[in-house]
């Protein structure tokens, strides 16, 4: 995708990134797999005080690494990710098979 930005765009001086023959402005393109999950792909998690505002700890608990917190956040699409999730919230976490598919397709 080529970008024809107007001269007044805040991104006009942003370096273009080319990866896998795609051009971007460093903006993240969400893998389609995250958006097309079925109930069988998900685990429901009720947030206890330990996990309040800590998607990294949820990732550590479910995937043995804090580095997949971004998948949990993108999947749940909180309106305000600061301090998310809150105690008592019930969120869904993609299972490990889905994580493998997402990470290896990126």
The per-residue pLDDT for range 2-35, each reduced to its tens digit, is 567 777 776 777 777 776 677 777 666 777 888 8
Residue 16 forms part of a structural domain: no
Would the pLDDT of 64 be above 90?
yes
**50 vs 101, which has greater pLDDT?**
50
Per the structure, the count of domains in the chain is 1
Would the pLDDT of 62 be above 60?
yes
Question: What SS3 string covers 26-79?
Answer: CCCCCCHHHHCCCHHHEEEEECCHHHCCCHHHHHHHHHCCHHHHHHHHHHHCCC
Q: Which residue range forms the structural domain that includes residue 67?
A: 31-105
**13 vs 66, which has greater pLDDT?**
66
């Amino acid at each position: 995708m080529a970008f024809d930005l107007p001269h007044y765009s805040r991104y006009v001086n942003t370096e273009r990134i080319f990866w896998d023959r795609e051009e971007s402005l460093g903006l993240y393109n969400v893998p389609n797999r995250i958006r097309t999950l079925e109930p069988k792909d998900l685990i429901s998690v009720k947030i206890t005080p330990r996990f309040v505002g800590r998607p990294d700890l949820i990732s550590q608990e479910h995937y043995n690494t804090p580095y997949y917190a971004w998948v949990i956040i993108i999947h749940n699409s909180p309106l305000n990710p600061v301090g998310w999730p809150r105690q008592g919230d019930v969120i869904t976490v993609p299972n490990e098979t889905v994580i493998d598919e997402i990470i290896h397709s990126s």
